[in-house]
A and B are shown apart, each in its own frame.
Chain A
Amino acid sequence: MNPHRTLATAARVLRQLRHDPRSIALMVLVPCAMLLLLRYVFDGDPRTFDSIGASLLGIFPLITMFLVTSIATLRERTSGTLERLLAMPLGKGDLIAGYALAFGALAVVQSALATGLALWALGLDVTGSAWLLLLVALLDALLGTALGLFVSAFAASEFQAVQFMPAVIFPQLLLCGLFAPRPSMQPVLEGISDVLPMSYAVDGMNEVLRHPDITGDFVRDAVIVAACAVLVLGLGAATLRRRTA
C-alpha cells in the first residue's frame, strides 16, 4: 500500500461525486428529511422519538453508504476501470482504503448534519455526548461501505446490486432492536441478532442516549462495529482479482 495512491483514489472518488450534485444532495438531505418526518410522527410521544431517532442516526449512514458503495464499485468492475487499475501498480488495499476514505468523509458530513438537526432543531434528548453519536455514525458508515464493497462482487448488474439492499440490510434492520428490544425476541432470533453488526450499532447509540459517560458497553459496541467493518473490508479486498477468466 502507498499513502499517495490511496489519497489519489479517495480524491478521484470525491471528484466523481462532485460531478453528480444530485446524488450528494440526496445523500445528505434525505436522512434529515426522514428525521424531521419522524419527529412529527411521534409528536405526542417525544420519548419514542428519542430512542428511535438515536437509532436511526446510526442506521442512515450504514444504508446510504452501503448503496452508494455497492453501485460505485460495481460500475468500476463493469466499466473496465477496475481491470485497468489492477493491471497498474495499484494495491488492492489502496483501492479499498481510497473508497473507504472518500465515503467516510461524505458520511461525516451526512452524520454531522443529521445529528446537529436532531439535537438542536428537533429536540432529541441525549444524555451522553453528541461527539459519541457522531463516532458511532461514522463507524456505521464504514461498515456500510465495507458491506457494499463486499456484495458488489456478487452482483452482475446494478439491478442485482440494488436487490442486495433488502437482502443484507432489512434482516439486520428488523433484528437490531429498533422495532422491539432484542431480549424480548424469540430466542433463535435473539441469537441471530447477537451476531449481526447493526445490532451493536443501535446498542451503541442507545448507550449514548442513556448514559452521560462512556460506558464499557459503549466501548464494546463501538469496537465490534469497527472490527466488523475492517473484517468485511478485508473480505472485499479478497474479492478483487487481478486475473479473471
Chain B
Amino acid sequence: MMNNKRPGRGGDGGDHVTGPVRTDPAILAEGLTVVRGARTVLRGLAFAVPRGQITGLLGPSGCGKSTLMRAVVGTQAKVTGTLCVLGHPAGAPALRSRIGYVTQDPSVYDDLTVRQNLEYFAAVLDPGRGPAAERRRDHVTRAIADVDLASHADSLAGNLSGGQRSRVSLAVALLGTPELLVLDEPTVGLDPVLRRDLWNLFHTIAAERGAAILVSSHVMDEAERCDRLLLMREGEILADDTPRALRTRTGSDTVEAAFLHLVDEATARSPAPRSPR
C-alpha cells in the first residue's frame, strides 16, 4: 500500500529533511478578512499554522473553510489583513512551486490518463530536459504510489471512480516537494482503509519533510488525527489548540462534543449573526 519509504529526491528538496528545524510558522494570519460579493466570509481571523505538523480546519459546511484555504494559496480575491505564508505575503509568485493545493472537487483532466495528468503538472512545476526530466519521472512514480493508484496509472481519469479521481488530484499536490500542503476535504468519499492510509501518509510527509499540512474536514472523527485544530464557525475561529487540550478545556470526551460545547458558549456570549452582511 502507501509506501512510507520515500526515494531520494533531487532538486531543491533534500534540505527539508536534514536542514535546521524551522520554528517560524508556515502560515501567520492577523486580521484576515475576505469579502465575497456583499458577504463578509472571513472576519478578522488571527491564527498560526506550524511547520512539521498537521493542522485540521474544522467546521460546518459554509463556514468559510474553503475560502480560507484559497486565501492561503493565493487564488482568493478581496483578501485584507495580514496573511504571511512561508515568509511571503500569500499569493506571491515565489510561493507557487512551494505549495501543494487540492481543491474540494478533483481538478484533473478527465481526458488524460493518471500518469499523463501527473506528467503535465510535474512539467509545470519543474520544467526542462535532462536531469529535470529524470526528477519528474521519479516524482510522478512516487506520487502515484503514494495515493495507491499504480494499478490505474494508465486509465483515463474520467473513467475512474469519484474517490480515485480525488486521489489523482491529491497526487498532483504531492508532486515536487511542497513545504505546505493545503488539502480541502481530501478524504471525502473514501473508504475507511484508504482514509487511514492517507492520514498515515500525511503524518509521514509532515514528520519526514517538515512540511506544514492544513487539511479541512467536516468529519469530526478525523479531527483526532490532527496535531492541532482550528475550529471555525460562520467566518470566525472558535478555537486554536491541540485536540487533547480542547477536550480537557471543555470537559468533553470527543472533539465533536468539544466543538458543540464551544458553539453553545459562543452563542450564549453573542447571538450568531445568522445572515452576515
The answer on A and B forming one complex is yes
B-contacting residues of A (Cβ < 8 Å)?
Answer: 2, 4-5, 8-9, 11-12, 15-16, 19-20, 79-81, 83-90, 241-245
Pairwise interchain contact B124-A89, C-beta atoms closer than 8 A: yes
Contact residues in A for B172 (Cβ distance below 8 Å): 84
B109 touches A83 (CB 8 A): no
Q: Tell me if B107 and A244 are in contact (CB < 8 A).
A: no
Q: A4-B128, A12-B116, A243-B91 are in contact. List 20 more A-B contacts (CB 8 A).
A: A4-B127, A9-B124, A12-B112, A12-B120, A15-B116, A15-B120, A16-B111, A20-B111, A79-B109, A79-B110, A83-B107, A85-B124, A88-B121, A88-B124, A89-B124, A243-B75, A243-B79, A244-B77, A245-B36, A245-B37
Distance from A133 Cβ to chain B, minimum over Cβ atoms (Å): 32
Given A80-B105, A244-B75, are A87 and B127 neighbors across the interface (CB < 8 Å)?
A: no
Contact partner of A81 among B97, B99, B109, CB < 8 A? B109
Q: Which residues of A contact B36 (CB under 8 A)?
A: 245
- Report the bound CA distance from A20 to B91 in whole Å: 36
Report yes or no: A4 in contact with B123, Cβ–Cβ below 8 A: yes
Instruction: Tell me the B91-129 residues at the A interface (CB within 8 Å).
Output: 91, 93, 96-97, 99, 101, 103, 105-112, 116, 120-121, 123-125, 127-129
Least CB distance from A86 to B in Å reads 7
**Cβ contacts under 8 Å, B277 to chain A:** none
Residue of A nearest to B123 (CB): A8
Q: CB within 8 Å of A: which of B120-173?
A: 120-121, 123-125, 127-129, 156, 172
Question: In the complex, which residue of chain A has the Cβ closest to the Cβ of B127?
Answer: A4
- Nearest CB in chain A: distance from B13 CB, A: 16
Rounded to whole Å, the gap between the CB of A114 and the closest CB of chain B is: 26
Residues in B whose Cβ lies below 8 Å from that of A12: 109, 112, 116, 120
Question: B82 to chain A: which residues have CB within 8 Å?
Answer: none
B248 → chain A, closest Cβ, in Å?
Answer: 38
A25 to chain B, nearest CB (A): 16
Instruction: Select one of A80, A83, A88 contacting B125, CB under 8 A.
Output: A88
B5 within 8 A of A: no
A81 to B165, CA, bound (A): 13
| A94 CB to nearest chain B CB (Å) | 8
Q: Decide: A19 near B107, CB < 8 A? Known: A89-B93, A243-B91.
A: no
Q: Which residue of B lies closest to A80 (CB)?
A: B107
CA distance A86 to B99 in the complex (A): 12
A/B interface sample: 17 pairs, CB < 8 A? A4-B127, A4-B129, A8-B120, A9-B124, A19-B112, A79-B107, A83-B75, A83-B107, A84-B101, A84-B103, A85-B124, A87-B75, A88-B96, A88-B125, A89-B93, A89-B125, A243-B79
Q: Is B255 located at the chain interface by the 8 A CB criterion?
A: no
Q: Give the residue among B76, B103, B129 with the most A Cβ atoms within 10 A.
A: B103
Measured between beta carbons, the chain A residues less than 8 angstroms from B105 are: 80
Chain B, Cβ-Cβ closest to A85: B124
Q: Are B75 and A19 in contact (CB under 8 A)?
A: no
| B109: chain A residues within 8 A (beta carbon) | 12, 16, 79, 81
Instruction: Assess whether B127 is in contact with A84, with CB atoms less than 8 Å apart.
Output: no
Partner of B74, one of A9, A16, A19, A242: A242
CA distance A89 to B98 in the complex (A): 9
- 6 A-B pairs closest in CB distance: A80-B107, A4-B127, A8-B123, A243-B77, A89-B96, A12-B120
Is the CB of B78 closer than 8 A to any CB of chain A?
Answer: yes
What is the bound-complex CA distance between A88 and B99, given in angstroms?
8
Residues of A within 8 A of B120 (CB): 8-9, 11-12, 15
Give the contacting residue for B112; candidates A15, A83, A84, A242; CB below 8 A. Answer: A15
A8→B103 contact, CB < 8 A: no
Chain A residues in 8 Å Cβ range of B112: 12, 15-16, 19
A2 to B111, CA, bound (A): 25
Q: Which residues on B sit within 8 Å (CB–CB) of A83?
A: 75, 103, 107
Measured between beta carbons, the chain A residues less than 8 angstroms from B110 are 79
Give the residue name and chain of the B residue nearest to A76 (CB): B109
Closest residue of chain B to A17, judged by CB?
B111
Contact of B123 with A87 in the complex, beta carbons under 8 Å: no
A90 touches B76 (CB 8 A): no
What's the nearest-Cβ distance from chain A to residue B182, in Å? 9
Task: State which of B76, B91, B96, B127 has its C-beta within 8 Å of the C-beta of A8.
Answer: B127
Please give, as numbers and ranges, the residues of chain A lying within 8 Å of B78 by CB-CB distance.
Answer: 245
Residue of B nearest to A20 (CB): B111
Task: Write the nearest CB–CB distance from B194 to chain A, whole angstroms.
Answer: 22
